[in-house]
């Protein structure tokens, strides 16, 4: 069983012996598990196979599966960053692991859009859209957990395979049923980490907005600005993107840019007092 209250996750380096043991267990589980039936399990239409290209394989330092996963996803997006840089912001040495919240927080402090997902539908939709997804797994059993973060980069229903960049130099390939078990024991926790001009496809608008507000909170105002601009292009009838855009610009001292965004917000919905308030404030500062 899962330990939902257990917040701390570590990966012990898989020694050769452990790996053999794990593979034995994995193949045993796979042997007696019913095959993963995409028709029964999925509510979305996804192709029978999809692969995100060019996600680098990084060999994790001891206990660094979390930071290594984030580094892989950020390098894939073109950032110049390594697992040490991420570990500095995310890793808890005393716990010899990385907390879920620190996975999200460190991604945001590095200027990335980070949004959680929790279903197979979302996972496969993101892969199909070309977005790698960080997943939280228990590679062991409920009674003897081996917590681990990996990056799902592809899947193939026909071959019954899920592909992960999993902290080793070779790709990890798991049958769907085995992956499903390891992910279920991690409570289906997944994290989409993207540059702010690329939006997740399987996540509702308010969640992406909140991720933008979080970028503002951690002082990543330029990233927040980009995210709000991208959101405004995708949801042009939603004033709140312009509102956030104005705040991100205001925070960077761009009063005129803030005014432009607030006026746009007001055109979309003239009735919102918060827009009036902020526009008055910006106008006041521009006049003074």
> Which positions lie near another protein, rule CB under 8 A?
43-45, 119, 121-122, 125, 201-206, 209-210, 212-213, 216-217, 238, 240, 243-244, 247-248, 250, 272-274, 276-278, 280-282
Non-local (6+) Cβ contacts of 262 within 8 A are 242, 243, 246, 275, 278, 279, 282
Q: Please name which of 112, 111, 61, 113 lies closest in space to residue 87, comparing C-alpha atoms.
A: 61
In this structure, are residues 286 and 259 in contact, taking their beta carbons and an 8 Å threshold? Answer: yes
* Strand, coil or helix: 149: strand
What is the C-alpha separation between 84 and 64, in angstroms, rounded? 9
Structure token digits, residue 171: 């790709």
Question: What is the DSSP code string of 48-76?
Answer: SEEE-TTPPP-PPPTT-HHHHHHHHHHHH
* Shortest distance in whole angstroms from residue 50 CB to another protein: 13
How many CB atoms are located within 10 Å of the residue 234 CB?
11
Cβ proximity to another protein: between 93 and 237 the closer is 237
* Measured CA angle at 235 (ends 231, 240), to 5 deg: 70
Cβ proximity to another protein: between 51 and 118 the closer is 118
* Shortest distance in whole angstroms from residue 248 CB to another protein: 8
* Shortest distance in whole angstroms from residue 137 CB to another protein: 21
Cβ proximity to another protein: between 80 and 237 the closer is 237
* Strand, coil or helix: 174: strand
In this structure, are residues 187 and 171 in contact, taking their beta carbons and an 8 Å threshold? Answer: no
* Shortest distance in whole angstroms from residue 116 CB to another protein: 11
Cβ proximity to another protein: between 51 and 283 the closer is 283
Cβ proximity to another protein: between 102 and 126 the closer is 126
What is the C-alpha separation between 284 and 96, in angstroms, rounded? 51
* Shortest distance in whole angstroms from residue 141 CB to another protein: 28
Cβ proximity to another protein: between 7 and 277 the closer is 277
Cβ proximity to another protein: between 139 and 199 the closer is 199
* Shortest distance in whole angstroms from residue 4 CB to another protein: 18
* Shortest distance in whole angstroms from residue 239 CB to another protein: 9
């Amino acid at each position: 069983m899962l330990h939902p209250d257990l917040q701390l996750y570590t990966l012990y380096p898989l020694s050769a012996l452990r790996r053999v043991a794990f593979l034995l267990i994995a193949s045993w589980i796979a042997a007696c598990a019913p095959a993963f039936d995409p028709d029964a399990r999925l509510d979305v239409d996804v192709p029978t196979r999809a692969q995100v290209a060019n996600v680098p394989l990084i060999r994790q330092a001891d206990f660094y599966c979390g930071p290594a996963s984030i580094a892989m996803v950020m390098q894939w997006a073109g950032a110049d960053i390594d697992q040490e840089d991420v570990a500095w912001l995310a890793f808890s040495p005393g716990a010899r692991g990385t907390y879920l919240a620190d996975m999200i927080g460190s991604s945001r402090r590095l200027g990335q859009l980070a949004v959680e997902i929790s279903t197979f539908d979302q996972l496969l939709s993101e892969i199909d859209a070309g977005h790698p997804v960080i997943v939280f797994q228990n590679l062991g059993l409920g009674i003897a957990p081996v917590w681990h973060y990996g990056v799902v980069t592809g899947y193939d229903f026909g071959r019954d395979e899920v592909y992960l960049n999993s902290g080793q130099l070779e790709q990890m390939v798991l049958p769907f049923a085995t992956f499903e078990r390891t992910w279920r024991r991690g409570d289906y926790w997944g994290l989409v980490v993207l540059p702010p001009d690329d939006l997740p496809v399987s996540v509702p608008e308010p969640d992406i907005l909140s991720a933008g507000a979080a970028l503002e909170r951690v002082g990543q105002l330029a990233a927040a600005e980009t995210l709000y601009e991208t959101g405004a292009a995708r949801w042009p009838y939603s004033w709140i993107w312009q509102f956030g855009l104005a705040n991100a610009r205001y925070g960077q001292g761009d009063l005129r840019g803030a005014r432009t965004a607030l006026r746009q917000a007001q055109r979309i919905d003239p009735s919102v007092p918060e827009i009036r308030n902020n526009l008055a404030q910006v106008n006041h500062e521009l006049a003074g």
